[in-house]
């Protein structure tokens, strides 16, 4: 398998994934490379279902083996939500900082700091043939917004055994521990064998 399509329009995610893939002799294509600008509706109830919808869509449009991920944060003080709605939840606020402060406020109210990030990757190699790879990182929500690296909820998530948010870690440090890199590493190990 010389070519592989990564189904995502998220520029930050593409950069992060390409850095992980750099070590391997695989040509990673983006949607821009294959001229896809549309995306299917992510109507799944789980990260796995949403990832599968996107990888199937990419494969069916191009015939190139395709993988897609769906990721999100699950926060104890929000009853382990927003989960699969993480992106929508963030976009419901005028600014990210307003969203983050709302989450921090809910934690201060109920004292539940625990959270985790989860990524599910679906690899489609043939029609309706999918392999799923999961990655998860436990941690807690920080008491304040910190850091300028990363994206999404990184500025308020402190990984277990760390005292910095993901947004305070360099891309290299983040890629050593992140939920996405755990799932991508499983994918790469599968492809290498």
Q: Which of the residues 33, 56, 69, 70 is marked catalytic?
A: 70
Going along the chain from its start, the domains and CATH numbers come out as 3-192 (3.90.950.10)
CB atoms < 10 A from the CB of 98, how many? 11
Q: How far apart are CA 90 and CA 23, in angstroms?
A: 33
Note the pLDDT of residue 1: 61
Q: What is Dmax (Cα atoms) for the chain?
A: 52
The DSSP bridge pattern shows strands 129-141 and 81-82 to be unpaired
Note the pLDDT of residue 111: 95
| Residue 70 appears among annotated catalytic residues | yes
Q: How far apart are CA 134 and CA 46, in angstroms?
A: 12
Q: pLDDT per residue over 138-164, tens digit each?
A: 999 999 999 998 789 999 999 999 999
* Secondary structure (3-state) at 156: helix
Given CA atoms 96, 47, 52, 159 in this order, what sign does their dihedral have? positive
Note the pLDDT of residue 79: 96
Q: How far apart are CA 29 and CA 133, in angstroms?
A: 19
CB atoms < 10 A from the CB of 180, how many? 21
Q: How far apart are CA 12 and CA 71, in angstroms?
A: 13
Mean pLDDT, contiguous 10-residue spans, the chain (193 residues): 86 81 79 92 95 96 95 96 95 95 96 97 91 98 93 95 95 88 91 83
Which of 109, 182, 173, 174 is CA-nearest to residue 141? 109
CB atoms < 10 A from the CB of 75, how many? 26
């Amino acid at each position: 398998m010389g070519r592989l399509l990564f189904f995502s329009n998220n520029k930050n995610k593409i950069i992060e994934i390409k850095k992980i893939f750099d070590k391997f002799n695989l040509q990673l294509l983006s949607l821009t490379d294959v001229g896809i600008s549309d995306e299917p509706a992510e109507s799944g109830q789980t990260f796995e279902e949403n990832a599968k919808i996107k990888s199937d869509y990419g494969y069916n449009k191009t015939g190139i083996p395709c993988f897609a991920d769906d990721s999100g944060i699950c926060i104890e003080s929000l009853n382990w939500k927003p989960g699969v709605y993480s992106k929508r939840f963030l976009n419901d606020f005028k600014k990210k900082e307003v969203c983050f402060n709302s989450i921090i406020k809910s934690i201060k109210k109920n004292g539940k700091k625990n959270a985790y990030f989860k990524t599910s990757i679906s690899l489609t190699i043939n029609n309706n043939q999918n392999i799923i790879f999961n990655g998860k990182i436990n941690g807690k929500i920080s008491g304040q917004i910190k850091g300028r690296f990363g994206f999404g909820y990184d500025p308020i998530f402190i990984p277990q055994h760390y005292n910095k948010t993901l947004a305070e870690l360099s891309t290299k440090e983040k890629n050593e521990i992140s939920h996405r890199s755990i799932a991508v590493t499983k994918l790469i190990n599968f492809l290498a064998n």
